[in-house]
């Protein structure tokens, strides 16, 4: 049995309840750790569940920043240095990843606070997360201010990618389950996944087949 919520009943929800409710409605989300450093060399690590694909040609990836404090450090570092990393979260590190959302003092790096290890390689200016199986080095490209709710969209170009060799298919598909990547829902729920199927390219009047 479905329960109906009108715009008025949603608007009247207590703020905390509304935040959980609306956040859940968006469905399962990508969840990753953003690694940055500032011009003084202090590293920062923050969890984001607002990362999304916007195009492969050129290879771009975007994310949304809310105006709240822990996210401001990451945004400032991206704008200051022009580079950041996106690191997939796996089952072994999701609790440490969640802990990066605590409001630490500016002088404390979330790498040290959570025990996750910063990894610098191939002269990329931002720190990767060593424990992460899929690591992406990104260069800042464009900032779009979303005035309707005071959020900011940051678009970056994918510059470096590290992926477990055994998770990459011949057609370029990356098996995220083999890489142990998790997903999240709402503000605080983490999930592993179970593959249903990969489906063939759909055409009118042609039955879909399995690609597995």
Q: How far is the CB of 63 from a second copy (least distance, A)?
A: 9
DSSP 22: H
Q: Which is nearer to a second copy, 81 or 113 (CB)?
A: 113
Q: Which is nearer to a second copy, 16 or 40 (CB)?
A: 16
Q: How far is the CB of 191 from a second copy (least distance, A)?
A: 4
Q: How far is the CB of 47 from a second copy (least distance, A)?
A: 9
The token pair that represents 111 in the structure block: 């790498």
Phi-psi region of 82 (alpha: psi -120 to 50; beta: other; left: phi over 0): left
Q: Which is nearer to a second copy, 39 or 68 (CB)?
A: 68
CA angle 102, 104, 108 (to 5 degrees): 135
The token pair that represents 176 in the structure block: 């995220």
DSSP string for 94-106: HHHHHHTTS---T
Q: How far is the CB of 40 from a second copy (least distance, A)?
A: 21
Q: Which is nearer to a second copy, 29 or 76 (CB)?
A: 29
């Amino acid at each position: 049995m479905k329960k109906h919520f009108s715009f008025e009943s949603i608007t009247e929800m207590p703020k905390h309840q509304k935040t959980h409710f609306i956040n859940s409605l968006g469905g399962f989300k990508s969840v990753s750790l953003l690694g940055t450093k500032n011009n003084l060399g202090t590293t920062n690590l923050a969890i984001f569940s607002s990362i999304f694909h916007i195009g492969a040609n050129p290879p771009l990836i975007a994310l949304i920043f809310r105006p709240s404090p822990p996210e401001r450090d990451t945004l400032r570092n991206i704008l200051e240095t022009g580079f950041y990393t996106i690191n997939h979260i796996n089952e072994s590190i999701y609790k440490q990843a969640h802990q990066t959302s605590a409001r630490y003092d500016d002088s404390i790096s979330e790498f040290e606070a959570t025990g996750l290890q910063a990894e610098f390689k191939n002269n990329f200016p931002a720190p990767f997360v060593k424990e992460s199986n899929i690591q992406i080095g990104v260069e800042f490209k464009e900032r779009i201010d979303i005035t309707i709710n005071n959020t900011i969209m940051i678009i970056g170009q994918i510059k470096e990618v590290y992926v477990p060799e055994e998770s990459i298919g011949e057609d370029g598909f990356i098996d995220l389950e083999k890489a142990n990547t998790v997903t999240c829902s709402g503000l605080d729920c983490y999930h592993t996944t179970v593959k249903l199927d990969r489906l063939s390219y759909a055409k009118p009047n042609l039955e879909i087949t399995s690609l597995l």
